[in-house]
Amino acid sequence: MTDTDQLLFYEDLVRKLRARGVICAITSGLACVHYGVAETTQDCDLLCHPGSFPVLLDLLAETKIDGQPCHYRGNISPPLDARWHHGGWISHFQWDTQPNVTTLDVFGHALRESSPWPQDIFGLYAGAHTVAAMKRTNRDKDWAFVTALGVRMIEADDERGWLHIFEADTLLEMLEEHRCPRDLAASRPALALALKNDTQLAGALNAERKLWEELDRRRIHILQHHLRAYVSAVRRARAGKALPLKPEHAVRVECAGLHLPENPLKTYGLQKYFAEAKAALVESSLVPENALTWLPDVMIYFEWLNT
Amino acid sequence: MKRAPLTYRLPPWTKEQLARIREIERDYHVRAFGEELARVNLDMTKEERHRYLAWMRKTARAHGVKIGRSRPPYGDES
């Protein structure tokens, strides 16, 4: 399967799902390429409404590529089940194609979504606002994409783009040309500093980025901690056998029911999670203590975990 | 239109305003991604961009760069 074939396959998968009434959209790296920011990834991240997971599972079970069936990736993938996806888990699938495997990561919720992602779909792809929020990770390479998407959003007259610009020069230049709404500036202290042409702007943007990186690092750590028992249980249950997708799914649901908490971040305590991330930034000297006042309230990006 | 639109509405900018936004955008892409990728991002169609990326991956592999699939963010299963 060539790279071009793979992209067509993913887009066709979305079309087939929509023909079955499923709300879904391609996000992350492939969406960045779609919106004009080249990323070399070949992995496909798919947002799919959790209420439609049974339809997606049916389609995956019947979809072969070059004769290869779809299966969960290794033992680590949580099941494609709304109970776990409402708590921020992701399911990972794979087809063993040549020369490269074809992968599909399924998200029921967009990580860090501040509004439901189905409200922000454009064509076969998630909207730029959703894609940019998902890119606020602990990977250095992702941050250039966030700012690039923010600029494109403003160019397209989508004011939410102001929330995604993390480079001081670009932010100041854009503000010379365009008005930033007051309510957005109120929700993001760095914007308020930029509007005043305050020299502390670069520090505030850096502090904000460091917070998102730390939050992502800690999120992964919390998930990792809970996965250990689940992975061992899946490994024992499979006993080295490669099961077809649906029996494999049943095994994972059973193991997850016993070993995988549905909503680990909520159980941990969201406020505790935020407070610890901020404290770690100060303790490690990544961010000076007085810079904490420049950080936005991040709760709106995690509210979906409470619903 | 080289890139996929983000909205069905026509932005209200004048020609001059749009030109200035694109100038700022290009400056940013050159700083963040380099001149070559800035051209890939801003001057190519989506199909051309995908072809370029496929060529990049092929060239990298031909020179011994291992391009694997990304693992789940919480690491290996072992």
The angle at the Cα of A21, spanning A15 to A24, to the nearest 5 degrees, equals 55
What the block records as the tokens of A292 is 């904490």
Tell me the three-class secondary structure of A31-42, residue by residue.
Answer: HHHHHCCCCCCC
A156 in contact with chain B, both atoms CB, cutoff 8 A: yes
Q: Which residues of A touch B3 (CB under 8 A)?
A: 35-36, 152
At residue A110, does pLDDT exceed 80?
yes
**A4 pLDDT tier (thresholds 50, 70, 90):** confident
| Average pLDDT score, chain A | 95
Instruction: Name the residue among A287, A288, A139, A138 with its Cα closest to residue A215.
Output: A138
- DSSP 3-state assignment of A27? strand
CA distance A276 to chain B (A): 19
Q: What is the pLDDT of residues A188-232, one digit of tens each?
A: 999 999 999 999 999 999 999 999 999 999 999 999 999 999 999
Q: pTM of the entire structure?
A: 0.94
A207 torsion bin: left (phi>0), alpha (psi -120 to 50), beta (else): alpha
Q: Is the pLDDT of residue A187 over 50?
A: yes
Residue in chain B lying closest to A106 (CA) = B72
* Residue B5 sits at the chain A interface (C-beta within 8 Å): yes
The complex's ipTM works out to 0.91
Q: Do B6 and A128 touch (CB under 8 A)?
A: yes
* Nearest-Cα residue of chain B relative to residue A219: B74
Say yes or no: A96 contacts chain B, CB-CB below 8 A: no
Per-residue pLDDT reduced to its tens digit, A63-98: 999 999 999 999 999 999 999 999 999 999 999 998
Using a CB–CB cutoff of 8 Å, tell me whether A237 touches chain B: no
